[in-house]
Amino acid sequence: MDIAAAIRDEMKEAWLPSIYRDKIRSGRTRAYKLDILARQNQAEIQYTLLGIELRVGRRRFACPELATARYLRVFARIGCREFALPYDISQISGIADELETSWQRSLVLLDKAKVDRNEGLARLVKAVRAEIAEIGPGEAMPLFDRETKQRKGE
């Protein structure tokens, strides 16, 4: 049996792509692109004099605050180049917590399985990245189709 499928079955709704589909893409989001390689990456959050940066390999990405850096780090680790970012910044911290917890739990389940760590991790990363790519990043900007006082009945 494929290790990624076994971990997916074990985690159910806590599986990282499930969180992405149900809690991120179901809300108002904007598409985000990282100029990184589509493979497993080392991603670090760095505090500089100019603010917070996410370092992926030799590339650095400026982040407005820590929650966004944590959110981006999850996707950078698995090599997702295009994904959705919640438009409401107050939601990012909570979702970043869930995504990081899901990723760490996946790694714990991988360690419990009796498989080669490197090969299992490569399969896990590839499966997660493929599912997120299938769900897609959405639109570059969210739709603002809510009725307001100025646009009643248009």
Q: How many residues does the chain have?
A: 154
* Residue numbers of the chain with a pLDDT score lower than 70: 1, 140-154
C-alpha to C-alpha distance for 38 and 45, rounded to whole angstroms: 19
* Containing structural domain, residue 58: 3-135
C-alpha to C-alpha distance for 39 and 16, rounded to whole angstroms: 17
In a domain, 80, yes or no: yes
In a domain, 142, yes or no: no
In a domain, 153, yes or no: no
In a domain, 141, yes or no: no
- For 1-28, what is each residue's pLDDT tens digit? 588 999 999 999 999 999 999 999 988 8
Note whether 71 and 92 are within 8 A (CB).
yes
Overall number of domains in the chain: 1
In a domain, 125, yes or no: yes
DSSP state of 93: H
In a domain, 145, yes or no: no
| Amino acid, res. 114 | K
pTM equals 0.86
Any idea which residue has 């390689």 for tokens?
Answer: 37
